[in-house]
Amino acid sequence: MSRFPQHQAAKGSQKWIQKLVNERPDLLTSLTRTQLGLPNTDTITWLSLIAGDEYAEYQDQAFLDLLGIKLPKVSLSDFWPSRGPVWDGLGRSETGKVFFTDFS
């Protein structure tokens, strides 16, 4: 599994996304909904950079597993390079939308 535990960041974008996800997920959700034109009723659960998960970042199959995404026709390795992006922010809405970003 490509899960990378992190320390609490002291600076940079990693620090701020950790703070948003853990201290103000409502603000992050609101900003995400506004930027993507989503309805205010679409709740997002943020799944990565969570303090209780060692601020872990995810890569390859691990990010799909965390988001609950199944690829029934082909495996990720059939079309995605190994050691692909390490996703900083992962979230899932109650309506099934998924959110992933790399802040590097």
pLDDT tens track for 19-43 = 999 999 999 999 999 999 999 998 9
Express each pLDDT in 49-99 by its tens digit.
999 999 999 988 898 899 999 888 888 888 887 877 788 789 999 999 999
CA distance 28 to 60: 24
Residue 94, sorted as left (phi over 0), alpha (psi -120 to 50) or beta, turns out to be alpha
Provide the number of structural domains found in the chain: 1
* Distant-in-sequence, close-in-space partners of 92: CB < 8 Å, separation ≥ 6: 44, 45, 47, 67, 68, 98, 99
CA distance 89 to 5: 13
- The predicted pLDDT at position 77 comes to 81
Residue type, 74: V
CA distance 26 to 31: 9
Confidence of residue 103 (pLDDT cuts 50, 70, 90): low
Q: Which domain holds residue 90?
A: 2-101
